[in-house]
Structures are given as structure tokens and as C-alpha cells.
């Protein structure tokens, strides 16, 4: 009993100490957890409520603040840092779209990059105002990574243990526990326990961490595994560079990714060698950064050729930015004798954050570049006709598709405003839902484009439905499906549905009660026409009935990929239980 009381006392002290050191982070973790648990409890019909939309946005901002406030405290333990953090989060709140749920995926991608940049701040903020050895910085970096990994592992173990207990209760006592309870449990464990466990493990005086000696296993890993990989990758890239000079065949896109992998492995090797560096290793230290510098030239050449041919996209932007950072770091570590690791992480943090805001952000640069490229492609292809070279037609289509997917249809108003307006008018007046890139290239007069006809076929009704007969059915459901946005559609608190691999699953209390294969219906569609395919409205209906369910699917449009899988659906579904 004494042991238990002592353990509880230590745990209580640890929790109180964490709350004192990082009150804002713990508070935001609590707010984030409560909001997400509440949102999971709500049905989709409540998601349009203005209060819910605001709460969703607050949770989005709070997830960043959980990491931001501890890094600011490590930078300077002062009340002003808390005010700065509050100001930054308020600013971030106002630049976010009004409704996170309806925002495009770019918002989530940017948010994850900002979280990554904030995590990097943990490594350098404790040392920004002090002169300290690289061994101390590397010791803290290792500690930080271990703290993060241990937090994830212990949180997963706790979640797994409680989940198994709930599952046992459900099976042994025949108690129905909805699946959302497991999701809420995960949020509770990671949001409260995980965050506070992570914060409690951060040393109070990081600068005083003692540099430890590597174990034998760590020395073998560093000297014989990481080092061998670095040398091996360098020899491969060096041999490929020699081949280019001999054959004069320019590098392909895959070279960029090989160069990125080599750079990451080489820098990791350099960092792991930190406790082992001696005076006699100075040539090897310089060799690593010279090797990184040389392969960065190959990386730059490869990415420049891709940009010159296909324009700037998000991935090419980040590869180019990473290449610029590699050049900067290579020069810094080659020529500065006492180069500090902290500037490696400081510059990387600044570049990641800078890439998300302003006119030189990844989204702005890629959008402007692709708009200019599309305009140039159209102008240089005049007069546009189906007889144009297939490569030109494919380039026009892929550029329109990129802008449509990544930046929305309005981004194309600068180049093809009449087509955008016509598309909006047709959809609003006739309830058509054509895939815009195909609609645009058809309106431009490009005719048949093999690049997308080989991958997709677009079927849509020839006349809009004026009346939907719901007699005999309990539910009328708006049916929208996209293969890239797979999600479960909740019909009511117990009933839901999802589409996967050409099958429509009806789920009741987390159990699949009906599996409807749509393959037979797909075979009835006409696959001979390579253009947009209009189907009589009465043919775009699929009926299904078994002893549990009665379903009628009324399609407005459906998109089939080259491998005969459904990629998009728009329409309605009538449903009742038998």
C-alpha cells in the first residue's frame, strides 16, 4: 500500500509540474480532445451548424498550439512568449477557410508541414542564444526523438489495452459498444495522456544534458551500416553522373528522388558520427558534405529539366527548395570550421514555414506557373483542333486537371473564363456533373485525348431528373463518392454506408448487413465510345433487394477508370429496411 501511495504521489507531482511548465499546451490539448470527441459523436447532418464549424476550426488551430507553446517556452521562459503564441494562433485562425470540412486538401497538407516545422523548433530553440557544442545538440536531438517515440509507443499500448478490455466486455456481456467509442477513446488517450506524457519527459535544463558514450550496437550501426549506405549511394550517383557525361543522356525524374534519399542518409550518417568525430576524421567529415554538394548539382539539373518541361508543382517546388537548402548547408559545413548543427534545423524550419505563406509560397508559385504554362500551351497551339499532336493535347489536359484538382475551378478563369462560366451554367441548369478537365478540353476543340480516355470513361444522364419517387422507401440519400476521399456516409445514428472496390456496403451498428456488387451494372454501360457518354436517364438506375434491405440507386454521373473501377459517383440513393 505504501508503494502504491508513493507511486500515486509521484505521478501527481509529475502532472502538476507539467501543468506548471506548459499550461497552455495542456489546456489546448484538453480543448482539442473535447472538441474532437464531440464532433465524432455528432451525425453529419449537424456538421453545417455555425457553432460546429467554428469548433472544428478551433480544434484545427489548437492542434498546432499544443506543439507551438512548449517550443516558445524552450526559446525563452517568459510571459511574452505566451502572448506571442496566442497572437500567432489568432492570426492562423483568421487565415484559415471558414469551413475546414469543405476546404481542399491543400489546407491539411499545409497544416501538417507547419506541425513538422514546429517539431523541428524543439531541436534548436533551447540553444539559439547560447554557444554550445554539436555533441550537446546531438544528445538533445536523440533524447527528443526517443521521447517522441516512447510517447507514441506507450499511448498505443494504453489504447490497445483499454480497447481490448472494451471488446471483452462487449463480447462477454453482449453489450453493444458503437465503433465511434473506440475513435473517441483514441482521441482521449493521445490528446490527454499522450500530450502530457510527452511534455512531462522534456528535461527542465536541456542545456545541462550530459553527452553519453555510444553503446557497441550504436557504434556498429553508425560505422558499418549508415556509413556503408552513404558510400554505396554516393558511388551509384557518381557512376550515373559519369554515364551522363559519356552518353550525353540527360537525367530522368527518378534521379531527383534518389538524390533526396542519398542526402537524407548522408546527413543522418553525419549526425550519428557526432560523438565519434576525432581529428583524423576531418577528411571524412568534409567528404560527406562534398558528396552532398556534388549530388545536389545532379538533383538541380534533374528538377530543372522537369520544371522546364512540365512546370512547377508542389513536389517539384519542395525538391527545388530542399536542393537550395542542401547547397547552403554544404557550403556552410565545408568552409566553416566550427559550424553548428542548430543552424541546420533553424534554416530548415524557416524554409518550411516560409513555403506556406506569401506570394512565394508553394501554392502561389505552383498556381501562377501552371496558369502561365497553360496559357502558353493554348496560344502556341492555335488554331486548336483534334489534329494537334497527342503530346500537346495531353499536356493541355494534364495542366487543366492539375489546376482543377489542386487550386479549384476558379483558378482557370484567367485562361478559359468562357468555358468555366459555361460549365457552371450547365451544371446549375441541367444538374449535369461532368468532369471539368474533360469538359474543358472538349470545349476547346481538342477532340479525343488518349491520355485520359485510356484511364477514365465518363457517363452521365441525358436529361435531368424532374421527380424522384420515394414511395416505399424510408431514406433519400445524396450519394457522392470519390475514390481519393474514401469515407463512411452516416445515414442515421446506427445505419451507414461506404463504397469500396465496386461494392456498396450497408452497415448497421458497425456490422455489414448487405454487400451490393455494382460490377453487373457497370457491364451494362456502353464502353465503345471514347468521348463523354450520355446514357438515357432511365438506364442510370440500379435496383437491389434482399431479405434485409431494399435499395434504388439513381445516378446522375459515374466515372470508371481504365481498370474498370469506380472513381466517382454522383446521384441519389433510396433505401428502406425489409
542-571 confidence digits (pLDDT tens): 898 888 888 999 998 888 876 677 888 888
Interstrand relation of 533-535 and 456-461 (parallel, antiparallel or unpaired): parallel
User: Does residue 430 have a pLDDT over 60?
Assistant: no
Residue entry with cell 469506380? 566
Q: Are 275 and 214 in contact (CB under 8 A)?
A: yes
List alpha helices for 96-203, DSSP H. Answer: 105-124, 134-172, 179-188, 195-200
245, three cell numbers: 557525361
Give pLDDT, residue 253.
Answer: 62
Is the pLDDT assigned to residue 44 strictly greater than 80?
A: no
Q: In this structure, what C-alpha cell is assigned to residue 528?
A: 465503345
Give the number of other CB atoms < 10 A from CB of residue 269.
21
- Beta strand extents in 359-440 (DSSP E only): none
Phi-psi label, residue 268: left if phi above 0, alpha if psi -120 to 50, beta otherwise? alpha
pLDDT tens digits for 456-478? 677 888 777 777 888 888 888 88
Check: CB of residue 565 under 8 Å from CB of residue 578. no
The reported pLDDT for the residue numbered 10 is 64
* DSSP 8-state assignment for residue 215: P
pLDDT of residue 423: 82
> How many angstroms separate the CA atoms of 74 and 494, rounded?
47
Q: How confident is the model at residue 7 (pLDDT cuts 50, 70, 90)?
A: low
Which residue bears the cell 440500379? 542
Q: What CA–CA distance (Å, rounded) separates 461 from 215?
A: 69
Of 544, 496, 419, which is closest to residue 179 (Cα–Cα)? 496
**Is the predicted pLDDT of residue 62 greater than 60, yes or no?**
yes
pLDDT band at residue 193, thresholds of 50, 70 and 90? very high
pTM comes to 0.74
What confidence tens digit (pLDDT) does each residue in 16-35 have?
Answer: 777 888 999 999 999 999 99
Give alpha helix (H) positions in 22-133. 23-41, 50-75, 79-95, 105-124
Q: Which of 136-140, 239-243, 326-330, 357-361 has the lowest mean pLDDT?
A: 239-243
Confidence tier at 1 by pLDDT (50, 70, 90): very low
pLDDT at res. 170: 83
**Using one digit for the tens of pLDDT, what is the confidence trace for 147-182?**
999 999 999 999 999 999 998 988 888 787 887 888
Band the pLDDT of 103: cuts 50, 70, 90.
low
| Displacement of CA 558 from its chain's centroid (Å) | 26
> What's the CA gap between 120 and 122, in Å, rounded?
5
Q: At 428, is the pLDDT very low, low, confident or very high (cuts 50, 70, 90)?
A: low
Q: How confident is the model at residue 528 (pLDDT cuts 50, 70, 90)?
A: very low
DSSP states of 182-207 as a string? HHHHHHHIIIIIIHHHHHHTS-S-GG
Given pLDDT bands bounded at 50, 70 and 90, which one contains residue 248?
low
Q: What pLDDT was estimated at residue 3? A: 43
* Among 367, 266, 275, residue whose Cα is nearest residue 314: 367
Arithmetic mean of pLDDT, 222-244: 85
Supply the DSSP symbol for 209.
Answer: P
Higher-scoring residue by pLDDT: 283, 155 = 155
DSSP label at 525? Answer: S
Burial class (CB in 10 A: 0-12, 13-18, 19+), 309: exposed
Cell 472494451 sits at which residue? 166
Give the integer Cα–Cα distance in Å for 485 and 482: 5
DSSP 261-293: HHHHHHHHHHHHTGGG--GGGHHHHHHHHHHHH
Displacement of CA 17 from its chain's centroid (Å): 35
d(CA 86, CA 80): 10
Q: What is the pLDDT of residue 468?
A: 83
Cis peptide before 485 (omega within 30 of 0): no
- Least Cα distance to 199 among 70, 54, 41 occurs for 70
Give percent of the chain with pLDDT exceeding 70. Answer: 89
**DSSP bridge pairs for 558:** 459, 569
Residue partners of 241: CB distance under 8 A and separation at least 6 = 294, 298
User: What tens digit of pLDDT does each residue of 311-359 get?
Assistant: 888 889 999 999 999 999 999 999 988 899 999 999 999 999 999 988 8
Judge whether residue 510 has pLDDT over 90.
no
pLDDT reported for residue 455: 61
The set of residues, in sequence order, having a beta carbon less than 8 Å from that of 530 and lying 6+ positions away, is 448, 453, 457
Among residues 238, 392, 365, 354, which one has the least CA distance to residue 307?
Answer: 365
Query: Could you state, in order of their start, the residue ranges of all structural domains in the chain?
Result: 2-208, 216-357, 364-454, 475-577
Helix/strand/coil percent split, the chain, to 5: 65, 10, 25
Percent of the chain with pLDDT over 90: 30
The pLDDT score that the predictor gives to residue 16 is: 76
pLDDT value for 125: 92
Burial, 499: exposed, middle or buried (Cβ in 10 Å; 0-12, 13-18, 19+)?
Answer: buried
- Average pLDDT of the chain? 84
Res 529 pLDDT > 50: no
- Judged against a pLDDT cut of 50, whether residue 239 lies above it is answered with yes
Amino acid at each position: 500500500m505504501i508503494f502504491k501511495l508513493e507511486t500515486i504521489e509521484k505521478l501527481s507531482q509529475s502532472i502538476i509540474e507539467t501543468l506548471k511548465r506548459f499550461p497552455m499546451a495542456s489546456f489546448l490539448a484538453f480543448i482539442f480532445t473535447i472538441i474532437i470527441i464531440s464532433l465524432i459523436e455528432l451525425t453529419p447532418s449537424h456538421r453545417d451548424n455555425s457553432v460546429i464549424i467554428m469548433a472544428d476550426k478551433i480544434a484545427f488551430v489548437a492542434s498546432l498550439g499544443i506543439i507551438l507553446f512548449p517550443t516558445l517556452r524552450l526559446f525563452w521562459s517568459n510571459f511574452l512568449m505566451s502572448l506571442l503564441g496566442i497572437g500567432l494562433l489568432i492570426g492562423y485562425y483568421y487565415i484559415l477557410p471558414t469551413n475546414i470540412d469543405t476546404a481542399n486538401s491543400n489546407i491539411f497538407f499545409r497544416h501538417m508541414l507547419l506541425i513538422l516545422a514546429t517539431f523541428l523548433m524543439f531541436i534548436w530553440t533551447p540553444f539559439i542564444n547560447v554557444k554550445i557544442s554539436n555533441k550537446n545538440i546531438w544528445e538533445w536531438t536523440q533524447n527528443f526523438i526517443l521521447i517522441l517515440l516512447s510517447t507514441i509507443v506507450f499511448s498505443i499500448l494504453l489504447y490497445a489495452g483499454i480497447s481490448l478490455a472494451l471488446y471483452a466486455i462487449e463480447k462477454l456481456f453482449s453489450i453493444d459498444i458503437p465503433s465511434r467509442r473506440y475513435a473517441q477513446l483514441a482521441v482521449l488517450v493521445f490528446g490527454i495522456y499522450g500530450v502530457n506524457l510527452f511534455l512531462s519527459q522534456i528535461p527542465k535544463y536541456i542545456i545541462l544534458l550530459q553527452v553519453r558514450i555510444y553503446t557497441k550496437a550504436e557504434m556498429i550501426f553508425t560505422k558499418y551500416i549508415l556509413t556503408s549506405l552513404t558510400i554505396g549511394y554516393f558511388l551509384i550517383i557518381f557512376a550515373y553522373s559519369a554515364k551522363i557525361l559519356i552518353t550525353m543522356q540527360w537525367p530522368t525524374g527518378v534521379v531527383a528522388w534518389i538524390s533526396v534519399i542519398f542526402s537524407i542518409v548522408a546527413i543522418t550518417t553525419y549526425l550519428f558520427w557526432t560523438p565519434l568525430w576525432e581529428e583524423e576524421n576531418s577528411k571524412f567529415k568534409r567528404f560527406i558534405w562534398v558528396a552532398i554538394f556534388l549530388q545536389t548539382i545532379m538533383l538541380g539539373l534533374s528538377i530543372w529539366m522537369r520544371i522546364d518541361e512540365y512546370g512547377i508543382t508542389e513536389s517539384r517546388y519542395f525538391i527545388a527548395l530542399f536542393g537550395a537548402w542542401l547547397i547552403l548547408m554544404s557550403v556552410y559545413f565545408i568552409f566553416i570550421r566550427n559550424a553548428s548543427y542548430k543552424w541546420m534545423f533553424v534554416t530548415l524550419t524557416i524554409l518550411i514555414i516560409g513555403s506556406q505563406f506569401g506570394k512565394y509560397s508553394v501554392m502561389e508559385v505552383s498556381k501562377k506557373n501552371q496558369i502561365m504554362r497553360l496559357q502558353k500551351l493554348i496560344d502556341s497551339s492555335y488554331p486548336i483542333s483534334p489534329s494537334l499532336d497527342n503530346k500537346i493535347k495531353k499536356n493541355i489536359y494534364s495542366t487543366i486537371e492539375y489546376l482543377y484538382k489542386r487550386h479549384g475551378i476558379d483558378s482557370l478563369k484567367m485562361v478559359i473564363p468562357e468555358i468555366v462560366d459555361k460549365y457552371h451554367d450547365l451544371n446549375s441548369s441541367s444538374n449535369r456533373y461532368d468532369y471539368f478537365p474533360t469538359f474543358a478540353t472538349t470545349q476547346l476543340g481538342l477532340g479525343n485525348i488518349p491520355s485520359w480516355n485510356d484511364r477514365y470513361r465518363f457517363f452521365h444522364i441525358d436529361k435531368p431528373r424532374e421527380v424522384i419517387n420515394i414511395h416505399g422507401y424510408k431514406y433519400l440519400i445524396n450519394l457522392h463518392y470519390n475514390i481519393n476521399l474514401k469515407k463512411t456516409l452516416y445515414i442515421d445514428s446506427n445505419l451507414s454506408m461506404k463504397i469500396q472496390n465496386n461494392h456498396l456496403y450497408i452497415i448497421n451498428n458497425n456490422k455489414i448487413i448487405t454487400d451490393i456488387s455494382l460490377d453487373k451494372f457497370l457491364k451494362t454501360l456502353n464502353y465503345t465510345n471514347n468521348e463523354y457518354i450520355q446514357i438515357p436517364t432511365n438506364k442510370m438506375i440500379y435496383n437491389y433487394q434482399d431479405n434485409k434491405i431494399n435499395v434504388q440507386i439513381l445516378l446522375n454521373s459515374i466515372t470508371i477508370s481504365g481498370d474498370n473501377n469506380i472513381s466517382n459517383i454522383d446521384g441519389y440513393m433510396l433505401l428502406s429496411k425489409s
